[in-house]
Amino acid sequence: MTGTAEQDFLQLVNQNQGIIRKVCHLYGRNDADKEDLYQEVIIQLWRAFGSFRGEAKFSTWMYRIALNTAISNLRKQSRKVTLSFPEFIPKEEADTEEEKLKEEKLKEMYAAISRLTEVEKAIVMLYLEDKSYEEMEEILGISNGTLRVKMNRIKDKLRTLTKAEYHGA
Amino acid sequence: MELDQLKEMWGDVATQKNSTSGEELQNLLRKKSKSPIAKMKRNLLLELIVVLVLYVATIAYYFIAYSGGMQWNAWLLLVIAVFFLFYYQRKYKLLNSMECVTCEVKSNLKTQLVTLEKYVRFYLLAGTALFPFAMIATGLIVFFYSPDITKDVADPSGKFVWIFTGILVLFSAVMTVPVYFINKWYVRKLYGQHVEKLKTIVEEMNED
């Protein structure tokens, strides 16, 4: 590919890096795994960039590639799983009781999400990204109706999981 | 906490802390893919190079160093080498059609599952079928190469050659059975976990 194509690609990736980071955060089992996945997503995006015709939005195209790479890449099961939290959760001590409680609950929610299946994680990720069910369908290939049913089930599952986390299960 | 509360905060996920610079991104573009399919392609290419080098060298040796009947060994090896080329070409074609990262996730995973199952079946059957041919070829080469035996080959009735070939064919046929099971175990060890994982995901995506 030409140097201009490379520049265009780098610019688009730079603008949308958050998408890749979030996918890696949800699917990576530990920091090394997340970096490997990040690298792999970039390589896959670059390889496919020549065929990007702009029929779909760049972000939709990017979600497809990032999720396809994350879900279908067989990573070794034996790798150590370390649960880390995204950057919006303050690492330092929370100041007030209210903040502490909020932080605790966020951790519970994040721990619960990490226990979802790969497909459920993809749906949650797109839901958190505020994607419409139509866009989710375009990315995942699961029908709108099925996605709605699945989303309701996931919400119930997360409620149960966060309760279990709270009770130390 | 409800998922919707997390949604409100999700947009604030800071990516600046671990965002990659333009230069780092540019370097990433030069790196090799570590995806399972890319690794399989690289391994296949390496295997093909090793097989080609070995076969070409051996075939050339038989053509240059011998004349007459011994040159049949070279022809035999050439036939097996052609089979190997078809084998690698088929495997490479299957690997190329195994993924479509730009497709919808569900259709990509379905394609991957179907193609991987075909690949595994082909690996098992072709790998097992090639064994007796390779075994018979090796046996015959050793047979004709041995100077002690060559004297008996000169026997005008040629009886010994046929007895030897018969035993070789029978032995190869019997040995193909355990080879099939060893191959089956090996293929399962290599790809079994991935096939199962893909099946589970595809089933989950098909569920209402």
Contact residues, chain B, for A39 at CB < 8 Å: 28, 31, 34
- Fold match between domain A1-84 and domain A91-169: no
Please state which of the ranges A43-47, A93-97, A115-119, B48-52 shows the lowest mean pLDDT: A93-97
User: In whole angstroms, how far apart are CA A43 and each of A20, A65, A155, B20, B28?
Assistant: 12, 10, 33, 14, 7
pLDDT of residue B150 exceeding 70, the answer is no
Q: CA–CA separation, B167 vs B136, rounded Å?
A: 10
> How many angstroms away from the CA of B112 is the closest CA of chain A?
9
Query: Is pTM beyond 0.90 here?
Result: no
Q: CA–CA separation, A38 vs A42, rounded Å?
A: 6
Instruction: Decide yes or no: CATH 1.10.1740.10 for domain A1-84.
Output: yes
pLDDT of residue A31 exceeding 90, the answer is no
Name which of A68, A98, A163 to mutate to probe chain B: the one with the most chain B Cβ atoms within 10 A of its Cβ.
Answer: A68
Tell me the fold of A91-169.
Arc Repressor Mutant, subunit A (1.10.10)
Percent of chain A at pLDDT above 70?
Answer: 82
> How many angstroms away from the CA of A155 is the closest CA of chain B?
7
Contact residues, chain A, for B10 at CB < 8 Å: 88, 128-129
* Terminal Cα-to-Cα distance of chain A (whole angstroms): 52
pLDDT band at B148 (very low <50, low <70, confident <90, very high): low
pLDDT for the residue numbered B44: 94
Q: Please check whether residue B173 is in contact with residue B132, taking contact to mean a CB–CB distance below 8 angstroms.
A: yes
Q: Please check whether residue B12 is in contact with residue B52, taking contact to mean a CB–CB distance below 8 angstroms.
A: no
pLDDT of residue B154 exceeding 70, the answer is no
- Determine, for residues B3 and A64 on separate chains, whether the beta-carbon distance falls below 8 Å: no
Please state which of the ranges A2-16, A130-144, B3-17, B69-83 shows the lowest mean pLDDT: B3-17
Where do the domains of chain B lie? 33-206
> How many angstroms away from the CA of A105 is the closest CA of chain B?
6
pLDDT band at A30 (very low <50, low <70, confident <90, very high): confident
- ipTM reported for the complex surpasses 0.85: no
- 10 Å Cβ neighbour count for B96? 11
Structure tokens at B34: 């570590």
pLDDT of residue B26 exceeding 50, the answer is yes
Q: What is the pLDDT averaged over residues B121-150?
A: 81
- The answer to whether the Cα torsion of A62, A64, A70, A74 is positive or negative is negative
Q: What is the pLDDT averaged over residues B142-155?
A: 64
Q: What is the pLDDT averaged over residues B146-154?
A: 59
For residue B33, the 8-state DSSP code is P
Contact residues, chain B, for A159 at CB < 8 Å: 2
Q: Could you report the per-residue pLDDT of B93-103, keeping only the tens digit for each? A: 999 999 899 99
Burial environment of residue A150 by CB neighbours within 10 A (0 to 12, 13 to 18, 19 or more): buried
pLDDT of residue A70 exceeding 60, the answer is yes
pLDDT for the residue numbered A166: 58
Q: CA–CA separation, B63 vs B61, rounded Å?
A: 6
pLDDT of residue A163 exceeding 70, the answer is yes
Helical ranges in chain B per DSSP H: 3-10, 22-29, 36-65, 71-96, 105-145, 147-153, 159-187, 193-206
pLDDT of residue A41 exceeding 60, the answer is yes
- Tokens 């399972």 belong to which residue? B36
Q: CA–CA separation, A142 vs A138, rounded Å?
A: 8
Nearest to residue A47, comparing CAs of B135, B29, B95, B110? B29
Q: What is the mean pLDDT of chain A?
A: 82
pLDDT of residue A68 exceeding 90, the answer is yes
Phi first, then psi: give them for residue A141, nearest 5 degrees.
80, 15
Percent of chain B at pLDDT above 90?
Answer: 51
User: In whole angstroms, how far apart are CA B189 and each of A40, B34, B115, B122, B183?
Assistant: 24, 19, 18, 16, 10
Q: What angle do CA A167, B2, B6 make, to 5 degrees?
A: 115
Q: What is the mean pLDDT of chain B?
A: 86
pLDDT of residue A86 exceeding 60, the answer is no
Please compute Rg for chain A using Cα positions. Answer: 18
- 10 Å Cβ neighbour count for A28? 22
- Determine, for residues B22 and A14 on separate chains, whether the beta-carbon distance falls below 8 Å: yes
- Tokens 């399989």 belong to which residue? B40
